[in-house]
Amino acid sequence: MKLTVLGSAGAEFPDFRPPSFMIDDSLLLDAGTISSVLSEEEQWKISDIFITHSHLDHIRSIPALADNIIIKSMQGHTVRIYSIEPVISAMKNHMFNNVIWPDFTKIPSPDSPVLSFETIEPLKDYSINGYTLRCVEVDHTVPAVGYIVSGKGKRLAYSGDTGPTELFWKHASGADALIVEVSFPDSMTDMALLTKHLTCSLLKTELAKIEQMPERIFVTHPKPQYYDLIKAEIDTIGNRSIELLHDGAIFSI
């Protein structure tokens, strides 16, 4: 399983891009960053995008992608966007509504659109491009899920945005790799809890809920202003398997 970090920040600054993780060049987990880092040919390879929740930093590159690959769709290529019903409804009603952006589920034609929206249900398995994906609800300020991706003898767990949660950790147990958020330093725990995110201390508590610790733990979604501080606080956890991600990193899982 090849994992490419297109973006992994909790906000946008120079050299910090919103979250998007590419698996084997064609499948994405979240879509905060696509078109600003991938060539036209690389964008054409994208076939499936799994969205954790409807906040802008996790979906904002889909409109640009749709615009960039319209020629490819005329050759029969449609990018499928998957998530739970509230997330799909939010994107349809508030983004691809012919006001904020064209409805690319009908362009260039309803029979051969650039995008299709696919509603999935929590705890059900879906087979995509040789992988099995399962979404698990997490606790955020809007309806949100994390994903378990299994295939090629490996398993990746991605929390998306979440505050303290429970069920997701049961499904993440024993994963080969975990991508989990830490948005704020410990000094901003009140803000983290208010906005349903994690700090390093909160992460330590959450990891204790996992029966079998993943082999590798990648931290995503730090606010860029606090990147160095969060990195230093991660080091105090004392777990060498925990690594703070940076944009552009490529891993073999």
Q: Can you tell me the mean pLDDT for 149-158?
A: 97
Q: How far apart are CA 34 and CA 54, in angstroms?
A: 16
Whether 4 has a pLDDT exceeding 80, the answer reads yes
Q: How far apart are CA 70 and CA 214, in angstroms?
A: 39
What integer pLDDT is reported at residue 72 of this predicted model? 76
Whole-model pTM over 0.85? yes
What integer pLDDT is reported at residue 69 of this predicted model? 94
Whether 238 has a pLDDT exceeding 90, the answer reads no
Whether 98 has a pLDDT exceeding 80, the answer reads yes
Residue 252 one-letter amino acid: S
Q: How far apart are CA 33 and CA 14, in angstroms?
A: 13
What confidence tier does 206 reach under pLDDT thresholds 50, 70, 90?
Answer: very high
Q: Can you tell me the mean pLDDT for 103-111?
A: 94
Whether 196 has a pLDDT exceeding 80, the answer reads yes
Question: What are the chain's domains?
Answer: 2-252 (3.60.15.10)
